[in-house]
């Protein structure tokens, strides 16, 4: 496993807007020396349209891993619906087609969206368009035609369970059916799932509105393939209070030794207590990114090659990878995106040390969910600077607003994110670019490890 690859990228003037009280130029005086000529009317600066950003929700699949994402383009001004062209451009820029090469990429659209723009550049093997159906009893001709066109262009069709009930012909076109967990009683939900599974076994069933890992497991037991609901980063109640495994204990102890600037011999002694950790450290030191002319064979040489900064990052990654649950891998993916985003927004306007520390804050911000214990108890096992503890426990201190910014971006709260960026002296135009870059970086890091 090449874990080393996990570690190693508008200006707008605020001109004063002049509003003319004579917009048609009827009372504009003649230009001196030009008979009968009138000066052109004063033109106000055009109103700038709100930016379009993409919000992603994790889709959890088998073994509790992230199986894909639901991508939704929206305006930074929640009162304004983005243009179809703006939404399409944002989705193109957001790595959708790369994700859809190996994971489900769910794109909710209206019939008129598909009809008015060319979404074919987003199509990859797992691109699935969830097309909003017409009202029950309405003419479905145009909607069915769109479903047929999507299939003819190589895309996959998704519909919701209400549409499947109202328009049975749509099931012949669908690859996926979304069943809203909150729209049914538990008994009715089970009945819908079992009916679809029995009559259309080829369909992929996605449960929407799932709020916890327990609900996800229940849906898996019923035979649904995916769950959607923004619960991926939440603690799992069934894992609360579980003991850390041996590898996680070793990695945490090594982190503590690094914080205390311990000697190399002490780090080597702890790493040797877990053969898996020792092998990974040597493997990472020998990765092509280290640029060694000859491979290292000993643990102490490997630690010297890596250096404290890279080792610190790898140890924080390793805590996630040392777990045995697929959920740990899902948490790692979220943590990587969060950490890289915090690092990117700090680069350029903060010292390098602060951007490194913000990466660590992002990586450790899910420690409570990972270890199945309250954050205070989890942090009690790691010796961290007080300002890192303050932000992870209470969102306070110099990095508190940075973590709040990352969470606002993850939840699609654009207005809150813009305000936090202003308070932090970060160009709001950089937010979406940095978040998309962080997401792409995390995807690449995970696939190359």
HEC string for the chain:
CCHHHHCCCCCCCCCCCCCCCCCCCCCCCECCCCCCCECCCCCCCCCCCCCEEEEEEEEECHHHCEEEEEEEEEECCCCCCCCHHHHHHHHHHCCHHHHCCCCEEEEEECHHHHHHCCCHHHCCCCEEEEECCCCCCCCCHHHHHHHHHHHHCCCEEEEEHHHHHHCHHHHHCCCEEEEEHHHCCHHHHHHHHHHHHHHCCCCEEEEECCCCHHHHHHHHHHCCCEEECCCCCCCCHHHCCCCCCHHHHHHHHHHHHHHCCCCHHHHHHHHCCCHHHHHHHHHHHCCHHHCCCCCCCCHHHHHHHHHHHHHHHHHHHHHHHCCCCHHHHHHHHHHHHHHHHHHHHHECCECHHHHHHHHHHHHHCCHHHHHCCCHHHHHCCCCCCHHHHHHHHHCCCCCHHHHHHHHHHHCCCHHHHHHHHHHHCCCCHHHHHHHHHHHHHHHHHHHCC
Domain end point (choices 185, 208, 232): 232
The pLDDT, as a whole number, for residue 5 is 40
79 band by pLDDT with thresholds 50, 70 and 90: confident
Instruction: Establish if 425 belongs to a structural domain.
Output: yes
CATH of the domain at 258: 1.10.3210.10
Same domain (yes/no): 261, 197: no
Structural domains in the chain (count): 2
228 in the same domain as 119 = yes
pLDDT digits 0-9 by tens, 380-408:
888 888 888 999 998 888 899 999 999 99
pLDDT for residue 60 is more than 90: yes
Of residues 208 and 22, more confidently modeled: 208
Look at residue 369 and tell me if it is in a domain: yes
pLDDT tens by residue, 180-200: 999 999 999 999 999 999 999
Share of the chain above pLDDT 70, in %: 88
Pairwise pLDDT comparison (40 vs 13), residue with the higher score = 40
Residue 344 covered by a domain: yes
Q: 210 with 357, same domain? A: no
Please give the pLDDT value at position 36.
41
Write the pLDDT tens digit of every residue in 48-58: 567 889 999 99
Q: What is the mean pLDDT of residues 133-140?
A: 88
pLDDT in tens, 24-48: 233 434 433 334 444 454 555 555 5
**Confidence bin at 9 (pLDDT 50/70/90):** very low
Q: What is the structure's pLDDT at 29?
A: 40
Q: What is the mean pLDDT of residues 358-374?
A: 91
Per-residue pLDDT of 400-431, as tens digits, reads: 999 999 999 999 999 999 999 999 999 988 89
The domain in which residue 250 lies consists of: 246-447
In this structure, the answer to whether residues 215 and 271 fall within a common structural domain is no
Give yes or no: residues 118 and 267 share one domain: no
List pLDDT tens digits, range 161-184: 999 999 999 999 999 999 999 999
For residue 16, what pLDDT is reported? 33
Write down which residue in 173, 198, 232 finishes a domain. Answer: 232
| Stretch 3-16: mean pLDDT | 33
Higher pLDDT, 128 or 259: 128
Question: Is position 379 within any domain?
Answer: yes
Asked whether residue 285 falls in the same domain as residue 173, the answer is no
């Amino acid at each position: 496993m090449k874990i080393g690859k996990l570690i190693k990228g508008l200006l707008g003037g605020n001109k004063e807007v002049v509003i003319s009280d004579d917009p048609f130029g009827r009372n504009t005086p003649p230009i001196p020396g030009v008979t009968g000529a009138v000066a052109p009317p004063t033109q106000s600066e055009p109103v700038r349209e709100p930016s379009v950003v993409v919000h992603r929700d994790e889709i959890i699949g088998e073994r509790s891993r992230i199986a894909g994402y639901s991508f939704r383009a929206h305006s930074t001004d929640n009162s304004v619906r983005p243009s179809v062209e703006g939404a399409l451009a944002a989705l193109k820029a957001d790595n959708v087609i790369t994700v859809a090469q190996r994971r489900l990429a769910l794109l909710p659209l209206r019939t008129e969206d598909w009809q008015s723009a060319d979404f074919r550049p987003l199509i990859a093997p797992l691109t699935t368009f969830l097309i909003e159906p017409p009202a029950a009893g309405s003419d479905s001709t145009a909607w069915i035609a769109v479903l047929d066109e999507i299939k003819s262009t190589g895309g996959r069709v998704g519909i919701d369970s209400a549409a499947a009930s109202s328009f049975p012909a749509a099931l012949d076109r669908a690859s996926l059916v979304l069943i809203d967990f909150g729209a049914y009683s538990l008994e009715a939900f089970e009945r819908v799932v079992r009916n679809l599974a029995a009559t259309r076994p080829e369909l992929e069933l996605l449960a929407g509105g799932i709020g916890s890992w327990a609900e996800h497991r229940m849906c898996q037991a019923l035979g649904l393939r995916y769950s959607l609901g923004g619960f991926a980063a939440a603690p799992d109640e069934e894992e609360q209070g579980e003991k850390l495994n041996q590898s996680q204990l070793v990695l945490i102890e090594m982190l503590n030794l690094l914080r205390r600037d311990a000697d190399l011999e002490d780090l080597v002694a702890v790493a040797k207590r877990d053969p898996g950790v020792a092998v990974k450290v040597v493997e990472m030191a020998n990765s092509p990114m280290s640029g060694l002319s000859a491979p290292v064979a000993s643990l102490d040489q490997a630690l010297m090659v890596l250096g404290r900064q890279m080792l610190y990052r790898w140890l924080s990654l390793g805590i996630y990878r040392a777990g045995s649950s697929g959920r740990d891998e899902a948490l790692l993916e979220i943590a990587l995106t969060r950490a890289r985003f915090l690092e990117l927004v700090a680069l350029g306007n903060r010292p390098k040390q602060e951007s490194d520390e913000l990466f660590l804050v992002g990586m450790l911000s899910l420690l409570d969910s990972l270890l199945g214990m309250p954050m205070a108890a989890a942090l009690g096992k790691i010796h961290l600077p007080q300002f890192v503890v303050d932000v992870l426990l209470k969102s306070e201190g110099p990095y508190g607003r940075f973590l709040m910014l990352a969470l606002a971006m993850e939840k699609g709260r654009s207005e809150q994110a813009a305000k936090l960026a202003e308070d932090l002296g970060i160009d709001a135009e950089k937010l979406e670019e940095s978040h998309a870059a962080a997401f792409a970086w995390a995807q690449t890091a995970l696939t190359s490890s």
